[in-house]
Structure 1
Amino acid sequence: MEDTINIRVEGMTCDGCSSRLKKQLEKHPQIQKAEVDHVNGIAMIAGEVTEAMVAEIVEATGFTYKGPDVVN
């Protein structure tokens, strides 16, 4: 079952940062698509994903995982 999660990411400062994180996320076989916005510090990930899996990829890429993005 495919899920979509939105997360907060800290430490991205430019398009290169968001592109690098997007590429690393999409390398994972369970992630079908990722969109990363460095300006707002948000990433949208679609696939058979868990929060722990995404957090591990974010941290391994050199950024700080800040948890789910909660929309009010």
Structure 2
Amino acid sequence: MIPGATLLDTVIGVISASNGQPAGSCAIRSAKFLHPVRPGDGMVIEWSPSPNGESRFTCRVGDTRVLTGSLAR
């Protein structure tokens, strides 16, 4: 299994890069691990920003949600 900290680091990196910000500018507000992710799994990260600077995210492997949460800038 891939450690949760590694998954969160990936999420932060992807969302920060898409916003043109350094990864250190984000803080994890919440995270819920729903299913294990294994090496080789193709994880898709979906997120939506809100006007208050928070981004809610969902990660999926296939049709299975594996991680949900939110980040604050």
Query: Common fold, TM-score beyond 0.5?
Result: no
Q: TM-score, normalised by structure 1?
A: 0.35
- Which protein has the larger Cα radius of gyration, Structure 1 or Structure 2? 2
Q: TM-score, normalised by structure 2?
A: 0.35
- Relative contact order (C-alpha < 8 Å, sep 6+): which is higher? 1
